[in-house]
């Protein structure tokens, strides 16, 4: 799904299901607390609905962010620089769309500029914009790649995401040490095995 399609999908969802009020969201939390077997009126839980709704605003703020706009400003004065631009250790804090459990990990992103570069913080912000939504890791990886491709038209880009899914570590099969790795390569990174291996080696070195 590219950035444009993703935006249209979000707009369609908003048209079909108007966003509930804060009061409705807080009442939904009280319902879940009762369903879990606790009393939302006891002292320790009185403020919990407000705290949960506030946390949701932070965890899912990506729905209100436009990755294309984030990458809109580019710089062409790069003195002929043509090698990869790479960011490592970008924190990934997301939630799986199946259980709404946290996905925690890191991402490495690189691109080969074609006459222009973008501020390095913008790359990290694009990762955040897509991760701060209900996701599968595979979809998130593809969305980040599509957004960078569409906004910058680089000669190639690469992304590597390494994350642990709490829906797997704290429930279900209970395997706390299992990581999920997803990658995406375009352009010269996809066509050139040596360039791709260089990127992967730099990703591994950054973990040490």
Our answer to whether residue 95 is catalytic in this structure is no
Catalytic residue, candidates 108, 128, 135, 137? 137
Q: What spatial distance separates the first Cα and last Cα of the chain, rounded to whole Å?
A: 33
User: Of 97, 138, 197, 204, which residue is the catalytic one?
Assistant: 97
Q: What is the largest distance, in Å, between two alpha-carbon atoms of the chain?
A: 65
Residue 167 is a catalytic residue? yes
**Residue 97 annotated in active site:** yes
**Set 11, 98, 175, 204: catalytic member:** 98
Question: How many Cβ atoms from other residues are within 10 Å of residue 66's Cβ?
Answer: 14
CB within 8 Å of 164: residues ≥ 6 apart: 103, 104, 105, 176, 178, 179, 180
Please identify which of the residues 96, 150, 166, 188 carries the catalytic annotation: 96
Pairing of β 156-165 and β 180-186? antiparallel
86 and 108 Cβ atoms separated by less than 8 Å: yes
From 93, 150, 166, 167, the catalytic residue: 167
Question: Which pair of structure tokens corresponds to residue 136?
Answer: 């599968």
**Annotated catalytic residue within 108, 143, 165, 203:** 165
Q: Which residue among the candidates 65, 93, 99, 166 is catalytic per the annotation? A: 99
Please, which residues have CB within 8 angstroms of residue 21's CB and are 6 or more apart in sequence? none
Annotated catalytic residue 165: yes
Catalytic, 99? Answer: yes
Is 96 designated active site?
yes
DSSP secondary structure code for residue 62 in this structure: G
Which 3 state secondary structure label does DSSP give 125?
Answer: helix
| Catalytic center residues | 96-99, 137, 165, 167
């Amino acid at each position: 799904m590219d950035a444009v399609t993703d935006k249209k999908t979000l707009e369609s969802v908003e048209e079909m299901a108007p966003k509930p009020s804060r009061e409705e969201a807080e009442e939904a939390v009280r319902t879940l607390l009762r369903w879990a077997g606790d009393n939302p009126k006891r002292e320790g839980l009185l403020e919990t609905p407000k705290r949960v709704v506030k946390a949701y605003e932070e965890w899912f703020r990506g729905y209100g962010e436009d990755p294309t706009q984030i990458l809109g400003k580019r710089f062409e004065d790069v003195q002929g620089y043509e090698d990869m631009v790479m960011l490592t250790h970008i924190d990934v804090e997301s939630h799986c769309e199946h259980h709404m459990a946290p996905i925690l990990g890191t991402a490495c992103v690189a691109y080969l500029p074609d006459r222009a570069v973008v501020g390095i913080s913008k790359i990290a912000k694009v990762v955040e914009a897509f991760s701060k939504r209900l996701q599968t890791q595979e979809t998130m990886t593809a969305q980040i790649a599509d957004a960078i491709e569409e906004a910058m038209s680089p000669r190639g880009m690469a992304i590597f995401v390494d994350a642990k899914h709490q829906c797997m570590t704290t429930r279900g099969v209970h395997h706390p040490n299992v990581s999920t790795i997803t990658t995406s390569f375009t352009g010269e990174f996809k066509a050139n095995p040596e360039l791709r291996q260089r990127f992967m080696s730099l990703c591994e070195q950054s973990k040490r």
